[in-house]
Amino acid sequence: MTSAEAQPVTMFPSIDERHQDTRRYPHGVAFMDGQYLPMSEAKISVLDWGFLHSDATYDTVHVWDGRFFRLDKHLERFHRGMAKLRMKIPYTHAEIESILSTCVALSGHQSAYVEMICTRGGSPTFSRDPRQAENRFIAFAVPYGSVANKAQMQRGLHVAISDTVRIPPASVDPGIKNYHWLDLVKGLFDAYDSGAETALIVDTNGNIAEGPGFNVFAVKGQKLKTPAHGVLAGITRQSVFDLCGELGIDVIAGDIDREELKGSDEVFITSTAGGIMPVTKIDDRLVGDGSVGPITKRITDLYWKKHSDPMWSTPIQYK
Amino acid sequence: MTSAEAQPVTMFPSIDERHQDTRRYPHGVAFMDGQYLPMSEAKISVLDWGFLHSDATYDTVHVWDGRFFRLDKHLERFHRGMAKLRMKIPYTHAEIESILSTCVALSGHQSAYVEMICTRGGSPTFSRDPRQAENRFIAFAVPYGSVANKAQMQRGLHVAISDTVRIPPASVDPGIKNYHWLDLVKGLFDAYDSGAETALIVDTNGNIAEGPGFNVFAVKGQKLKTPAHGVLAGITRQSVFDLCGELGIDVIAGDIDREELKGSDEVFITSTAGGIMPVTKIDDRLVGDGSVGPITKRITDLYWKKHSDPMWSTPIQYK
């Protein structure tokens, strides 16, 4: 029962008044309980059901060159997720927008990764009834991050397809953006084991689903296709549909099996964390000639151009 | 962009140094980073992947009348879960036992709900690569809680069967005790909507799986059966197998469909949070004659008797 290393036998440990945290956190600003705080203070109780039951929804929007990108779409999805989970917070759409903007402004970041979160919260009695919990809103802005680093953006990512099955819609509605990622984490370790840099996991029929934080598109003969079922309806995925409309490129949502994906001319992944990112190797096979393709480049260029378009972006007031 | 209620237009908000938390927490003691702390200090960063990706495993053991119940089995499962998730913490089996015991002793609780948690943790760069995260161990002891309250223990629970499908093993290994509960929370709301008190959800074939935090057993003609596939191998579930061995009652793990469950003579659920709890109504149908059955009572009695048996329990040193 006792452990010599952990505690001297002669002295029973006492309770400290305050937690001493020596961890370092990325620079940024969070909003919680009406306060703006450094990231080192942005903490939730281990008793919050958002942690203990992953009973939470969230959304992530990015800021580029001082402007939110497609903020409205992220806010709409966040509100839809809360409604589906029967969660309520005391902030309007406009108030959340103001809070997010203030987090970014106070952080000083011109490019940022901005997350809004609603957790089930908790109750003083630790009741297991979710109807008795006080839901909780948290937001934060940290430096912009990307799934792919600079080198990977230039040469393309190496992706491995894992046999892990994405949590199906019959279990968790993918319309609720959620933190249930153990399937994606498993896929990621499978990918690392095979020497790849990131992963795609499959749907219940064995078709390609999505990866850790991103959707995927296949290009074949000037036509684009992205998985339709059981995947998150990503905002960047939607942006690709919108950009293809402008560019006159055909794009559909439908089943893609492993061999179809590997036989594509081009492949790219999409995420708020990085935008449109090329994939040039899948498992042991090069995609096309193994270099970043022309359609991927055209869409990527237009995607970044839209970041200064007032129809697609909103300026931050840095005071 | 601005909101009159949220912020006066003339003053830009500033960053506070410290979070002011006015929430009330249950009485208890937590262990984090080498410190013993009140529950109000037991908080994790919102950037911890244990929260943002629910990339964590845990176990819960209970203390009754000053003794841990089957602590070894909980510790073994916790270590198996960490190994499967490729997580490492700097504490041995014996050290964790000492930490848990100290949390309980410092809390003063004679009956407690004790949780040990390992999260993926994080890195100062907010890297998305789980291999770069520093895994993190947290433990806490709070007052003992039960799925069923006193009245429900006496008259039996009213359970509704939801169409929600438990996250399948092909997505998340149920051998890793995990916080992916949105399927169970959905089931719970479905149950509340139909006037029931808690829920059972189904497996991918539509057979009964489990409920929020518990396994289920059906009794028919002196024989017990519990779902075999895609469910958590609960320690209390295992205890029922062990107790049935002593009592000479037949028990098997196998598929149970809805009609079979509803046509049972007796039904009970099992959880560390409450032990063995009778179910006397499923959807709109009474189980048997609608009262708590004799086999459920026999197993429940022996279960509680084991709490003072040194083969099944370990005393806490309260100093």
For residue A4, pLDDT over 70 is answered with no
Q: Please tell me the total count of domains within chain B.
A: 2
3-state secondary structure of A137: strand
Which of A14, A51, A85, A87 should we substitute to test contact with B (largest number of B Cβ atoms within 10 Å)?
A51
What tens digit of pLDDT does each residue of B133-191 get?
999 999 999 999 999 999 999 999 999 999 999 999 999 999 999 999 999 999 999 99
Q: How far is B258 from chain A (nearest CA, A)?
A: 18
Q: Do A112 and A26 contact (CB within 8 A), yes or no?
A: no
Q: In this structure, are B209 and B275 located in the same domain?
A: yes
Q: In this structure, are A169 and A227 located in the same domain?
A: yes
Half-sphere exposure of A204 (CA within 13 A, CB side): 13
pLDDT of residue B126: 87
Q: Which residue has the higher pLDDT, B2 or B236?
A: B236
Q: In this structure, are B154 and B298 located in the same domain?
A: yes
What tens digit of pLDDT does each residue of B66-103 get?
999 999 999 999 999 999 999 999 999 999 999 999 99
pLDDT of residue A9: 52
Q: In this structure, are B272 and B244 located in the same domain?
A: yes
Q: Which of A43, A106, A178 sits opposite B46 (nearest CB)?
A: A43
- Could you give the maximum distance between any two Cα atoms of chain B, in Å? 77
Gyration radius (Cα) of chain A, Å: 22
3-state secondary structure of A191: helix
Q: Do B156 and B286 contact (CB within 8 A), yes or no?
A: no
Look at residues A31, A77, A35 and name the one whose alpha carbon lies nearest to residue A57: A77
Range of the domain at B193: 150-307
Boundary (domain end) residue, out of B143, B166, B201: B143
Boundary (domain end) residue, out of A111, A143, A175: A143
Average pLDDT of B109-115?
98
Kindly state whether B228 is in contact with chain A, defined as any CB-CB distance less than 8 angstroms.
no
Q: In this structure, are A198 and A299 located in the same domain?
A: yes
Residue A239 placed within a domain: yes
What are the chain B neighbours of A95 within 8 Å (beta carbons)? Answer: 3, 5-6
For residue B12, pLDDT over 90 is answered with no
Nearest chain A alpha carbon to B167: A171
How high does pLDDT run on average in chain A?
95
The 3-state secondary structure of A15-76, one letter per residue:
ECCCCCCCCCCCCCEEEECCEEEEHHHCEEECCCHHHHCCCEEEEEEEEECCEEECHHHHHH
Q: In this structure, are B255 and B225 located in the same domain?
A: yes
pLDDT of residue A124: 85
What tens digit of pLDDT does each residue of A57-97 get?
999 999 999 999 999 999 999 999 999 999 999 999 999 99
Residue B193: CB atoms within 10 A of its CB come to 10
What tens digit of pLDDT does each residue of B125-137 get?
889 999 999 999 9
Residue with tokens 């905002």: A235
Look at residues A102, A133, A313 and name the one whose alpha carbon lies nearest to residue B188: A133
CATH number at residue A128: 3.30.470.10
Q: How far is A234 from chain B (nearest CA, A)?
A: 17
Average pLDDT of A201-213?
97
What tens digit of pLDDT does each residue of B250-309 get?
999 999 999 999 999 999 999 999 999 999 999 999 999 999 999 999 999 999 999 999
Q: Which residue has the higher pLDDT, B206 or A2?
A: B206
Residue A168 placed within a domain: yes
* A33/B20 Cβ within 8 A: yes
Q: In this structure, are A117 and A163 located in the same domain?
A: no
Q: In this structure, are A116 and A240 located in the same domain?
A: no
CA distances for B78 relative to A125, B224, B316, angstroms: 26, 27, 20
Q: How far is B95 from chain A (nearest CA, A)?
A: 6
Q: In this structure, are B209 and B63 located in the same domain?
A: no
Q: In this structure, are B226 and B301 located in the same domain?
A: yes
Kindly state whether B92 is in contact with chain A, defined as any CB-CB distance less than 8 angstroms.
yes
Categorize the per-residue pLDDT at B193 as very low, low, confident or very high, splitting at 50, 70 and 90: very high
CA-CA distance, A159 to A161, in Å (whole number)?
Answer: 7
* B124/A23 Cβ within 8 A: yes
What are the chain A neighbours of B207 within 8 Å (beta carbons)? Answer: none
CATH number at residue A237: 3.20.10.10
